[in-house]
Amino acid sequence: MAKRSTENRINFTKTALASLKPRASRYFAHDSKTPGLCAMVTPTGAMSFYLYRRIDGRPQRVRIGSVGDVTVDQARRQVAKLNGEIVAGVNPQRRKRVARADSTFSEAFAKYIVDHVALRCRAATKTEFERIYDKHLKRWAGRRLNEIEPADVKALHNRIGKDHKHMANRVRELVRAVYNHNKQPHPCGGCEPFREVSRKRYLKPHEVKRFFDSIAEEPGDTWTDYFTVMIFTGQRKNTVASMEWNEVDLVEGVWNIPAKKAGNKSGEEIEIPLINPVVEILSRRKETRTNEYVFPSTGKTKHIVEMKTAWGRIRTRADLEDVRIHDLRRTLGSWQASAGASSYILAKSLGQRSERSAAAYAQLDLDPVRKSVEAATTAMLAAANGGENDDN
């Protein structure tokens, strides 16, 4: 448990809480008026109220609710109530565990999404977990957590794994995460994950021409532009799809991806260099912008979200049936590596920051990253124009 200090003690007000800025890792600020009341600030800027005090002889945190959903006054009243119960011998954490054990799987999943995923993960992760739940786990929606047996998990895992070992393992991981978040023993112990072979697929020189020829045949310019930007920035498909104009500096040639979208371990925003072909595409699209998104749509999100249909057409025309959209991200990194890029340059160009390499990563200027991306994309374009015919 983090030790309290006068450094992070403030009088909780709406203004004071709004002034708390996110850091590289989560931290706690403590209310100077109400003993035990604190606020956790995540790297994405999300905040939640907690009671922090000794319960049954050891320090514990009891979640009150999200800042915004719960006012300061409500949090203070709830902390006062919990303090009274604790003095009377009631352990609120134990009471919660008992209540959670009686929860249905759908209730436990919803709690995991609201209390953890929505606060600490990328929006795309939340969408993916909800998709997995709807497709594979909704059958358990009404079952109590203590009613789902290891045999149930194993049977489901085996059934999915006959055709999709990767997805079977993701389902198992999600079940375990839901139970762990709800502080219940998970039923996954007797279900060993399938062995997965790491994908190393990327576009080789003789395939790059087919790829660019195929995307050029797309009607309109949305998908041609989208897949070009994706392969030339090396970013995730959903991050590119939700690119906003206020994130892009076309003069400096930089894309500032906010922490919520970045999805890196540090929880910080990342800078991605934009090479000339990408700047040209964005400049053209900006002249006909219809909303805040670079790739707008008329749907609820106001930006494109479903790219599988277009990708299906593109890879079929290009005879690249085994290539996935994510392999375009891997393609840029592979071509950079072939040109001799260092691991730090690769990490920064793809927005992959690890804590171990944080110092060197932070000090790395964008210029060598931009030059590396330019070298890789120039080689790709040369291959697309017939300058290369051999595999890497």
pLDDT band, residue 125 (cuts 50/70/90): confident
Domains 6-91 and 205-384 fall in the same CATH topology: no
Domain ranges of the chain: 6-91, 105-181, 205-384
Most confidently modeled range among 179-188, 343-352, 380-389: 179-188
Determine the CATH number of domain 6-91: 3.30.160.390
Confidence check: pLDDT of 4 > 80: no
**Residues 283-318: pLDDT tens digits?**
999 999 999 999 999 888 999 998 989 999 999 999
| % of residues, the chain, pLDDT over 70 | 89
pLDDT for the residue numbered 7: 54
pLDDT band, residue 109 (cuts 50/70/90): very high
Taking the whole predicted model, whether its pTM rises above 0.75 is answered as no
pLDDT for the residue numbered 100: 64
pLDDT for the residue numbered 99: 60
Which option is the CATH number for 205-384: 3.30.365.10, 1.10.10.10, 1.10.443.10, 2.60.120.620?
1.10.443.10
Rounded to whole angstroms, the Cα distance separating 153 from 139 reads 12
Rounded to whole angstroms, the Cα distance separating 215 from 221 reads 9
